[in-house]
Amino acid sequence: MMDTTRRLIIAHIALAMLVFAVMAQDAGAQKMDEMWGRQVMMLKAVDAERGQLFEDGNYAMFIHWGLYSNIGNLYKGKSYYGIGEWIMNRNMADIPIDEYKALAGKFNPVKFDADEIAKLAKDAGMKYIVITSKHHDGLAMYHSKVNKFNIVDATPFGRDPMKELAKACQKYGLGLGFYYSHNQDWTFPGGGNGPKQTADGKDADFKYYYENKCRPQVEEITTHYGPIAIVWFDTPGRIPREYVEELVRIVRKNQPKALVSGRAGYGLGDYQTLGDMEVPNENVEGIWETVDTTNDSWAYAWYDNYWKAPKEILHRLVSCVGRGGTYMLNIGPKGDGTVPELATRTLRKAGEWIRRYPQVVYGADASPWKHALPWGDVTVKNNTLFLCVFNEPKSGELYLPGLKTKVKSACLLDGKKRGTKLKVRTMGNWTKIQLPPRPAEKLIPVVQVELDESPEVDSCWGIDPALETTILAQFAEVTGAKQETKKWMEKFGEWKHLVRVWQWAEGGKASWEVDVLKSGYYNVDLTYNGEGRIVWGVDVAGGQHIQNQQNSSHNYQKFPIGWINFPEPGRYTVSVSCIEGNLAQASLKAIHFTFVD
């Protein structure tokens, strides 16, 4: 199992560096890794003071706000679906540069209230804010002295919102970071995916853009707004290395305590940002963050009402902390400067829970299980486990598989000092904690478990007797099939991520070692996509074989396969094989086990 884990980590790293899906841009298709500047930064030591930001504050607010917010994905009467800040792009409204720049004349966000936004971040439990000081469209959202295409000189607004936000962040004790699109600039000559000539017809290369806009603007944002916590460069693309080196030098010189995002490129940043909207399923080493958004788009889109409920926000936050990282959650203020009401509501509600259980999030470490468990997820502080119960079993029985460390006590936290003491029982490799029938905490109950020493866990997958157990294809040992990461865009710019096993050869297998506490029959479902009807087989090594035919679709869907017997408690190897149908296209995402009464 150790070998498997190591192999999976290596596969994860290798896959992260491979060619993935593309996001079409003006210069043609670009590889996502190149665009995200994704590097393996796991082993890099960050200056302790700079690293403190992520240590203490593993929850932050991201803000995408700019001229595009005033369009809100509705242009000339037509709605465009995708990330709003890309509205200019030819895959969206394809707005010519001059036409786009002229829209600045109507951008007047008079309702922008920096104090209210900073207070929202504070109420939400966030520790710092990173805001777009310049996105790919090139409009500086602050008063730039080096380029007139900025919110003070090019719009009727005439205020510097970054000055106001810097002040508000100081007032509420929040860190402030600036997003800066260093490579892409779609409106300045020579910028990545921008015009190739100046207004007077002279050729402009990247150096021209870099020297006349990018470098001096990075000097500005790092000197005019007081202490900065992060400079969040994005989409390095094919920017030559020497420019990134210089930009990082500038940040170090002007803001020695600021972190530089990994998307600066070439591994020159301080930490790794995973793919957009990617909450990892397995612990990730090193210093990293996930960036995510409260709905689907980063920037405001008029129709985008698919808000993450407070429970989902907290689930994703705890998953990131439990995997060892930091979670930065985006809001997209409107063109008038206000934050959509439902975003504020959901963030505040989630923030109330964090105020009840701050120890679960701040300064907490990764789960020793290295992945979620059927009932929820775990964060750790020294010898204490915090069990966050997203999915309460009806029986109230919380099972911890493979916990090797002795449990001293367990209690259900309820805001009171000591909480309610819970019964704990150890059964071989398993620990059972009994929850009361109706915990007072309605959102996500938290159980605090005190251990004798720091936690050690056997990494074998436990099949939970009380709840459905899902095991991802990502964790399988695979022979005769391909196990790979797949990333795709649901809407334009809205990324989804998974690891699949597909392209099955005859006899190909995806296998997991499992630990069964309660012997008997379990219903097995598979989640997959593919073409037409597929026959799948499920085998218990040395035991039962079942197989069944089910249909498939291009979306990942869950289909029942049948009941399988584990005659005794103990360890088994379970394998899935693809027996008939389009073996090349059949793409397995997960196996699920549910005890049959």
| Shortest distance, position 147 Cβ to ligand FHN, whole Å | 20
For 17, phi and psi rounded to 5 degrees? -100, 0
Question: In terms of CB distance, is 291 or 435 closer to ligand FHN?
Answer: 291
| Shortest distance, position 120 Cβ to ligand FHN, whole Å | 20
From CA 427, how far away is CA 433, in angstroms rounded?
11
| Shortest distance, position 551 Cβ to ligand FHN, whole Å | 35
| Shortest distance, position 22 Cβ to ligand FHN, whole Å | 12
Question: In terms of CB distance, is 36 or 528 closer to ligand FHN?
Answer: 36
Question: In terms of CB distance, is 276 or 392 closer to ligand FHN?
Answer: 276
**The amino acid at 352:** E
**The amino acid at 404:** K
**For 296, which DSSP code?**
S
Question: In terms of CB distance, is 36 or 353 closer to ligand FHN?
Answer: 36
| Shortest distance, position 291 Cβ to ligand FHN, whole Å | 5
Q: Which two tokens stand for residue 428?
A: 């071989």
| Shortest distance, position 365 Cβ to ligand FHN, whole Å | 25
Question: In terms of CB distance, is 236 or 401 closer to ligand FHN?
Answer: 236
- Other CB atoms within 10 A of residue 66 CB: 31
| Shortest distance, position 408 Cβ to ligand FHN, whole Å | 42
| Shortest distance, position 85 Cβ to ligand FHN, whole Å | 5
- Element at 63 (helix H, strand E): strand 59-63
Q: For residue 442, what are the contacts with CB-CB under 8 A and spacing of at least 6?
A: none
| Shortest distance, position 110 Cβ to ligand FHN, whole Å | 25
**Residue 186: closest CA among 176, 171, 196:** 196
Instruction: Determine contact, residues 80/87, Cβ cutoff 8 Å.
Output: yes
Q: For residue 363, what are the contacts with CB-CB under 8 A and spacing of at least 6?
A: 55, 56, 58, 381
Question: In terms of CB distance, is 37 or 402 closer to ligand FHN?
Answer: 37
From CA 184, how far away is CA 192, in angstroms rounded?
4
| Shortest distance, position 276 Cβ to ligand FHN, whole Å | 5
- Other CB atoms within 10 A of residue 597 CB: 5
- Element at 49 (helix H, strand E): helix 48-56
Q: How many residues in the chain?
A: 597
Instruction: Determine contact, residues 22/32, Cβ cutoff 8 Å.
Output: yes
From CA 528, how far away is CA 588, in angstroms rounded?
4
Question: In terms of CB distance, is 134 or 509 closer to ligand FHN?
Answer: 134
Question: In terms of CB distance, is 287 or 291 closer to ligand FHN?
Answer: 291
Q: Which residues bind ligand FHN (CB under 6 A)?
A: 36, 83, 85-86, 234-235, 276, 291, 298
For 462, phi and psi rounded to 5 degrees? -85, 135
Question: In terms of CB distance, is 86 or 188 closer to ligand FHN?
Answer: 86
Question: In terms of CB distance, is 231 or 564 closer to ligand FHN?
Answer: 231
| Shortest distance, position 235 Cβ to ligand FHN, whole Å | 5
From CA 75, how far away is CA 142, in angstroms rounded?
25
Instruction: Determine contact, residues 109/157, Cβ cutoff 8 Å.
Output: yes
Residue indicated by tokens 């389009």: 582
- Torsion angle of the four alpha carbons 372, 373, 374, 379, in this order, in degrees rounded to the nearest 10: -80
Helices and strands (H and E) in the chain: how many: 12, 32
For 62, phi and psi rounded to 5 degrees? -105, 140
End-to-end CA distance of the chain: 30
From CA 291, how far away is CA 297, in angstroms rounded?
12
From CA 433, how far away is CA 165, in angstroms rounded?
46
Q: What angle do CA 271, 276, 281 make, to 5 degrees?
A: 80
| Shortest distance, position 540 Cβ to ligand FHN, whole Å | 43
**Pairing mode, strands 570-580 and 534-540:** antiparallel
Residue indicated by tokens 């909450």: 279
Question: In terms of CB distance, is 85 or 377 closer to ligand FHN?
Answer: 85
| Shortest distance, position 523 Cβ to ligand FHN, whole Å | 39
For 135, phi and psi rounded to 5 degrees? -95, -170
Instruction: Determine contact, residues 180/210, Cβ cutoff 8 Å.
Output: no
| Shortest distance, position 118 Cβ to ligand FHN, whole Å | 21
Strands in 113-187 per DSSP E: 128-134, 175-180
Question: In terms of CB distance, is 16 or 583 closer to ligand FHN?
Answer: 16
Question: In terms of CB distance, is 329 or 526 closer to ligand FHN?
Answer: 329
| Shortest distance, position 493 Cβ to ligand FHN, whole Å | 6
CA Rg value for the chain? 25
